[in-house]
Every structure is written in C-alpha cells, then in structure tokens.
Structure 1
Amino acid sequence: MRAIVGYVGDDDANASTFHTEGWLKTGDVCYFDSKGFLYVVDRLKELIKYKGYQVPPAELERLLYSLPGVADAAVVPSMKQEDVGQIPVAFVVEKPGSNLSQHQIMDYVAKQVAPYKKIRKVVFIDSIPKSASGKVIRRELANLALSNHPVSKL
C-alpha cells in the first residue's frame, strides 16, 4: 500500500505546505554548515522586515543576553512605519543592581550588527511573558510595542 503525503484534493494547501521536492515547509530559517550539520536559527514569521531587509530577532536576542546586566530579553517588531516597515524593539529584563540605559543597549548591539539590524527602541519590563513550556509569547510583546509602550528610562 502506498502512503499518501499531503492533502487529498487540495492542491493549494499542498503547494503552501510542501516544497516541490517533498520537503515540509515548517517556517523555520535554517542553514547547513560545511560539515553538513543543519542549524535552525529563527522562524520566518518572526522575521522583522526593515527597509526590505529581514532582521532575525534570535540574533539580536543572543547579543542582548551577552550584555552584562541583562537577565532576559526578547525582540519584536514595532508598528509598521511608512518609510521603513517595522523596527526592532527590544524588551529587556535587567539583573538586580544593573543600571543599563536604552542608549547603552542600542550602542552595544549596533557595534556588532549591520546597520539595518540595529535595535531602535528598548523597553524595560519586569518579566518577559512566556508560555508554560518557556516559549516567549511574542504577540503580547508585539501588542506592547504597537501600543507605543513608553520607555521606562533613558
């Protein structure tokens, strides 16, 4: 008996779910290294579109985690702006006793990324919203970013 792969009688669903070579379109951004290892680095639907460039939040979050004084962080897009699209907004939870400023964080990241990947706004919050499994609930942060949540300190 032959296994059927895909949606029976629904060519549109098959085209949006499966690559022409049979791969499942998961929405993950991946690459193979020179040794053939596969690395999953981000999700397509989470990419921030800034001036036609794609900015991966996970890359910016890794940099934020490396900054002394940052206990937790997440990056989401702000509301769309006519001339640039979306801008990366960082939500940062500081470690106790830390005294980071928005400018320190933006400068730290800017020195390590291409100009289009720079964080353009920092919001300090008490905690990053997460699901029971520990996954960041990005839609809650995106709603805060869209509501022009004020920056708590400069």
Structure 2
Amino acid sequence: MSPSPMFVIRRSLLILVLVGLLGLGAELIAVGHWYAPGQLIPFIAIGGTVIVSVLYLTFERPWTTMFLRVVAVLLVLTGLLGALQHGRAESGLRAAGRADESGAATAANAKPMFGLAPASPSLLNGPAPLSAPLAMSGLGILLFLSLYGREQETRRAER
C-alpha cells in the first residue's frame, strides 16, 4: 500500500524544516554565535528539534507527535525572543562602532550590480540581524503546520 499524498507532504515539510534548521545552525556557527550564555539558546532549540524530529520519523506515535508540536511552539517562541534580543542589541552595537559588520560591501569598494546601490546596514542586515531569529520562528510555524490534522488522518487510516 503506497503512502497517502498527505503523508508524503507532511514528511517533505518535516525534512524541509530539518534542512532549514541545520542551515541556520551552520550560519550561527559561522558567525560565532556563542559569546554569551543566551546566544546558546538557538543551538539548544535546533538540537532539541532535530532529536524530536528523528524520534518522530522513527517512531510515529501520539507522544512523538505531541513532542514535535511542543518543539514547534518552542521554535516560534525562541525565534521571537531572539528577534527581541537582536532588536535591543542592534542600537548598542551601532553605538559601539560595529554597524559595518553586516557583511554588506562598503560604499567605497562596492560595485553596483544591475544598477542597484549596495545595501546599507539596517535592522535586517546589520550586526544583529532580525532575519535569523525570524527564520527560526518561520521554521517552527512550518513544522507546526506539517502536523496539522495528523490525528484525523490516523483515525481514518485505522478504520
């Protein structure tokens, strides 16, 4: 018996979330995101989600589904907390003269591409960008959505 299309979609979304989280973790490692204990929170959230996801993929039971929903909500909350922390840290880092640490080319050595000016450091791409924590929240929402209606599908399959 072949798996239902919804089963394939759910698994695909879960694998997409895992790939996204591993990429996010690699980015955090690349930028050295461990200067303070609070900066380890995303690593813990990513590690916990990966462990629970592997459990879910291995033993798809009601308790693993519940744990996966819990870590999905925790991912969303971790991302929102990170966005708050990044928003607070941005002004302090700019005041300390670290506004040019965005990785964007400076105006002096930048070559415009397609006639567009280089991006100037902002809240989205400055020294404490909002993009990473908001990506974590987005992956948490996607993970939660991948489990939507799972119980109804299980009940229908049992009949």
Q: TM-score scaled to structure 1, two decimals?
A: 0.26
Structure with larger RCO (C-alpha < 8 A, sep 6+)? 2
Higher helix share: 2
Higher strand share: 1
Q: TM-score scaled to structure 2, two decimals?
A: 0.26
